[in-house]
């Protein structure tokens, strides 16, 4: 049986998608340590899933409102976005797929010149279309209401027409064996086409992705050239990156401390 405070925390997480330790401590007038114990117990019962600074609904991040997904590790995503953007030269062509972290990269790229961007992400297109020096090309297909992602066979066929310099891809979860996972098989097919048609693939994912799982396989870490995250404490992921010549960049660390540079 849950105590009343834990029941209310669970209900709140299911409504808004994410709950934070500090906000809950203020709301219930208890210490952060008490809230952490509550969250840990709810996570042990598989009712919530722990993320940095709080927890998210275990019903699945794929069902979370896009705005709530943006708020998870928002600072880390901005740091990752800025770091990944530095890897892209001016006058490059690139794919950017669906995701809040890839959207952070799009914002960071606004200081560049002469980019050609092909995307199946309406949010990315809206961010980048206002730049007079950019050519923005958007895929056709079914628009997913939840997040503005364009998915389906039409989007896959569209992506296959191009061969670009760089691909910026995100993922919903990263398994211990290096598998890149997502929730929607239609989105996965688009991501696979993007990987296959880019000369250099950059995976961007914050460290909460190591704590999640998802049912559909996009591919494997060995298929990317560069992995940009805020911090990687998973030894297996470090080993896989090293064995497959994947440059692992931890954006929250000084560049000289990042693995794979």
pLDDT tens, residue by residue, 64-95: 555 556 666 778 999 999 999 999 999 999 99
Mean pLDDT of 106-121: 96
Span 145-170, pLDDT tens digits: 777 889 889 999 999 999 999 999 99
* Stated pTM of the model: 0.74
pLDDT at residue 99 tops 60: yes
**Which stretch of DSSP H or E encloses residue 174?**
strand 173-174
Same fold, 4-59 and 73-257: no
Instruction: State the Cα–Cα distance between residues 61 and 168, nearest whole angstrom.
Output: 21
Gyration radius from the chain CA atoms: 19
pLDDT score of 214: 80
Which residue ranges make up each domain of the chain? 4-59, 73-257
What would be the CATH architecture of the domain defined by 4-59?
Orthogonal Bundle (1.10)
What is the side-by-side order of every strand in the sheet holding 48-51? Answer: 18-20, 54-57, 48-51
DSSP 205: -
Could you please state the CATH topology (level 3) that the domain comprising 73-257 is classified under.
Rossmann fold (3.40.50)
Phi, psi of 216 (to 5 degrees): -115, 135
Q: Cα(120)–Cα(117) distance, rounded to whole angstroms? A: 10
Tens digit of pLDDT for each residue in 194-239? 999 999 999 999 998 887 778 889 999 999 999 999 999 899 999 9
CA distance 15 to 51: 17
């Amino acid at each position: 049986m849950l105590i009343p405070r834990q029941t209310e925390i669970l209900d709140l997480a299911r409504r808004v998608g994410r709950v934070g330790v500090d906000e809950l401590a203020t709301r219930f007038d208890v210490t952060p340590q008490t809230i952490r114990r509550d969250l840990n117990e709810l996570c042990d019962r598989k009712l919530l899933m722990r993320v940095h600074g709080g927890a998210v609904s275990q019903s699945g991040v794929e069902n979370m409102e896009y705005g709530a997904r943006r708020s998870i590790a928002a600072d880390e995503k901005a740091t990752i976005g800025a770091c990944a953007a530095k890897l892209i030269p001016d006058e490059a062509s690139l794919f950017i797929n669906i995701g809040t972290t890839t959207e952070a990269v799009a914002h960071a790229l606004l200081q560049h010149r002469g980019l050609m961007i092909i995307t199946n992400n309406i949010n990315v297109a809206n961010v980048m279309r206002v730049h007079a020096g950019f050519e923005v090309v958007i895929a056709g297909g079914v628009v997913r209401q939840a997040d503005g992602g364009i998915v389906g066979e039409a989007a896959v066929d569209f992506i296959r027409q191009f061969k670009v310099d760089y691909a910026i891809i995100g993922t919903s979860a990263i398994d211990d064996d290096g598998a890149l996972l997502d929730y929607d098989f239609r989105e996965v097919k688009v991501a696979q086409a993007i990987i296959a048609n880019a000369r250099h693939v950059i995976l961007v994912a914050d460290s909460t992705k190591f704590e999640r799982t998802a049912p559909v396989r996009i591919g494997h870490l060995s298929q990317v050239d560069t992995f940009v995250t805020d911090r990687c404490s998973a030894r297996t992921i470090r080993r896989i990156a090293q064995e497959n010549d994947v440059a692992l960049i931890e954006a929250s660390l000084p560049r000289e401390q990042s693995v794979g540079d």
